Amino acid sequence: MPKVIVEVRLNEKPLSANKMHYRDGKKDTKEYKNYRGDIADVLRGDYGITKEDKLKFSLIAGFSSKLSDLDNCFKPLLDSMQACMDFDDRQVFEVEALKEHTKKGDEFICVRLETITDNQWRRRLVRLFPKFLRGK
């Protein structure tokens, strides 16, 4: 049975994947380390997620800049969540995201992580891409 694991509004500015690492790509930036710590402060815990669970990751990102790319905030948020909630992002089978513009200083992230069943996942696949999945 599907269940919502966590649903929370974070008064946190969405972090771009471009700001996760220094140019060498190996060392985390100070900004990313602080971001991960802030996410962990709110979300750290045992949520009972098993390795067999399929997950759906949903978010609303509130950006103050109209130039911000919605997809750039997925990776730092998801990586931060998996580090403190004990799951692997390979378990994420569906992503749903919305972007909202807000005033500077009012940036936020609303995030929900939930389990999905195989039947839910398959129905969604067929509904989104019926033309490509007819042979399956």
Radius of gyration in angstroms for the set of CA atoms belonging to the chain, rounded to a whole number = 16
Question: Cα separation of 44 and 37, whole Å?
Answer: 10
Encode the chain (136 residues) as per-residue pLDDT tens digits.
779 999 999 999 999 999 999 887 779 999 999 999 999 999 999 999 999 999 999 999 999 999 999 999 999 999 999 999 999 999 999 999 999 999 999 999 999 999 999 999 888 888 888 887 765 5
Question: Cα separation of 116 and 93, whole Å?
Answer: 9
In the chain the domains, ranked by start, together with CATH numbers, are 4-133 (3.30.1330.70)
